[in-house]
Structure 1
Amino acid sequence: MTYQAEIRVWRGDMTGGGFATYQVEADEGEVVLDLVHRLQATQAPDLAVRWNCKAGKCGSCSAEINGRPRLLCMTRMSALPPGEPVTITPLRAFPVIRDLVTDVSFNYTKAREIPSFAAPQGLAPGEYRMSQEDVNRSQEFRKCIECYLCQDTCHVVRDHEENKSAFAGPRYLMRIAELDMHPLDTADRQKAAQEVHGLGYCNITKCCTDVCPEGIRITDNALIPLKERVADRKYDPLVWLGSKITRRR
């Protein structure tokens, strides 16, 4: 069934902008990205928007739909309130380049700040061995498509620009947690998480988990366990004593 949908799209650049309203033809079963493409083809050929796979696997088409961070290609029109305008805006946490395209280089900077996997000395690639239980523990985090919706919805990043220099955000704290769980990794992830990447800024509101299109339980399975290990290391006297004995040996 074909119908007319009203779409309000933010148009502009870093100097400013506003909303433009369009009437776009829609068909049953379509997603928001379908209507954005039709809008480009029929009324707004200069509309800037990122997209690639249209299958929810590349993370390119991140935007905010009716105020909620979502993937344009995974948000069905039928899931939105019927008869109401669909409002599409760029990710609010990052600088706008043009229209729906934002500068997400903040995330690339944070990714480069995390040291890569540090294998034990004398162990060559191909000689790594770990139990299936250890594999399963971090496998969930590898589903991340780096859409940065969790980064966008995290209020520490979204509402406080001054925090960005000291806070890696949920996506990269999850990466640190994944490496810290690896039984062969030798880097001191816990100290860096707290002192360099701002783990203490996170107050576990679970907003990052709520918007993850891959259903990764970022807060429960990565951030909270990492916080617990950091707290144990700093405040648990038995853990502190064990670390001193290990270091002496």
Structure 2
Amino acid sequence: MTSYDASFRVWRGDTDGGGLEDFTVEVNEGEVVLDIIHRLQATQAPDLAVRWNCKAGKCGSCSAEINGRPRLMCMTRMSVFTREEVITVTPLRAFPVVRDLVTDVSFNYDKAREVPSFVPPPGVAPGEYRMQQIDVERSQEFRKCIECFLCQDTCHVVRDHEENKPAFAGPRFLMRVAELDMHPLDAAADAGLDRKRTAQEEHGLGYCNITKCCTEVCPEQIKITDNALIPLKERAVDRKYDPLVWLGNKITRRRT
């Protein structure tokens, strides 16, 4: 096994501010960035705050920005960097810093609560739901999400415009709306809930300009833009501008 010394720059600080601190730390063959952060804690910076759990790319806890790119530290191998490269590790930029590499991601949980849940079909008991396999596979892709919030962090609507946060759910939760909207058993419409309308008016679908930056950073390789956001936009536009739908709404309003 070979080892070498790598140059790291790690952001240290809290809600009052902070900056990058330089470290030289040993790297062994096969290690990932999270291993190096743990070694820093053990040998040089015992008070370094970092959030992690599974170290297997499934909990989404160790999200950070590595050389400016949102990544999971546990899934970023040291072998992708040259030995001479200075590796910079900073907290997620889109969210407030708590301390060091730990950020306050409660924004995302607030947005999750704003998305109405699955509405069970009437007259069908749990365990009796039946779906075509193709429909199962369509939604299964979105259920691979580990909620690392890298897509939320890299989305420039959130990242570069703090003022957009109240009106924009972000790609992770627009993907959730899309999943429910295409679910063949979701009875939201029967309950008076129009998911396409709420996607536009309450979750900020119109803010998304499909740059695919969210898809590029997804560690589960979910095609967020192509398979969720673009189809949802198409369905929402069809719903809003379809002349037959417009006429039906006009007639309904007159009758009421």
Normalization by structure 1: what TM-score?
Answer: 0.96
Query: How many percent identity over aligned positions?
Result: 80
**How far apart are 1:118 and its partner, in Å?**
0.4
What are the ranges of 5 or more consecutive residues in structure 2 without an aligned counterpart?
Answer: 189-193
Q: Deviations along 1:147-205, whole A, 9 cap, x unmatched?
A: 00000000000011110000000000000000001011122211110000000000000
- Are 1:180 and 2:186 matched, yes or no? no
Given that residues 64 and 91 in structure 2 are in contact (C-alpha distance below 8 angstroms), is that contact kept between their aligned partners in structure 1? yes
Tell me if the contact between 2:12 and 2:19 (Cα under 8 Å) persists in the aligned partners.
Answer: yes
* 1:240 Cα offset (Å): 4.3
Q: Over the residues paired in the alignment, what is the CA RMSD in angstroms?
A: 1.7
Equivalent residue for 1:142? 143
Q: Is 1:211 aligned with 2:188?
A: no
* Aligned equivalent of 2:90: 89
1:236 offset after TM fit, Å?
Answer: 2.2
Aligned residue among 226, 232, 244 for 1:226: 232
Q: Deviations over 1:2-55 (max 9, x none)?
A: 100011000000110011100000011110001000000000000000010000
Give the deviation of 1:95 after TM superposition: 0.2
Residue matched to 1:195: 201
Kindly state the Cα deviation for residue 113 of structure 1 after the two structures are TM-superposed: 0.5
Residues of 2 paired with 1:57 and 1:73: CA distance? 10
SS of corresponding position for 1:165: helix
Amino acid at match of 1:200: G
Structure 1 runs not aligned, ≥5 long: none
2:172 alignment partner in structure 1: 171
Structure 1 residue 120: Cα displacement: 2.1
Once residues 48 and 93 of structure 2 are traced to their aligned partners in structure 1, the CA distance between those partners, rounded to angstroms, is 18
TM-score, normalized by length of structure 2?
A: 0.93
2:161 partner amino acid: H
Distance 1:172 1:23 in 2: 39
Which AA in structure 1 matches 2:202?
V
Alignment of 1:56 with 2:57, yes or no, is yes
Greater displacement, 150-159 / 74-83: 74-83
Distance of 2:82 and 2:26 partners within structure 1: 17
The Cα shift of 1:81 comes to 3.8
Matched residue pairs, number? 248
**What displacement does 1:243 show?**
7.4
> What is the CA–CA distance in structure 2 between the aligned matches of 1:131 and 1:244, rounded to whole Å?
35
Which one-letter code corresponds to 1:199 in the other structure?
L
